Amino acid sequence: MIEKLIKVLFAPLTFGLAFLAPLFAQILDALAVSLSIASNLTLAFVVAGIWGLVAQLRGSWVWLK
């Protein structure tokens, strides 16, 4: 039970959504970049979610293996 919880908490997808998305949104806000179709947070969640999902499926954040 605890092992499954730890695996979920430290999964790349969780890291992407919980840490990278807010970070990316803050960077976009600091650079004053915004799209008219979506908020910066929405864009950040989409990009970080895709990036985290790819990392989870590949098993690595590094593109070169």
Q: How far apart are CA 32 and CA 28, in angstroms?
A: 6
Q: What pLDDT is recorded for position 10?
A: 82
Burial class, 53, CB count within 10 angstroms (exposed 0-12 / middle 13-18 / buried 19+): middle
pLDDT bin (cut points 50, 70, 90) of residue 4 is: confident
Give the pLDDT score at 21: 95
Predicted TM-score of the model (pTM) = 0.80
Write the pLDDT tens digit of every residue in 12-65: 888 999 999 999 999 999 999 888 889 999 999 999 999 999 988 888 877 766
Q: What are the residue boundaries of the structural domains of the chain, listed by start?
A: 2-58
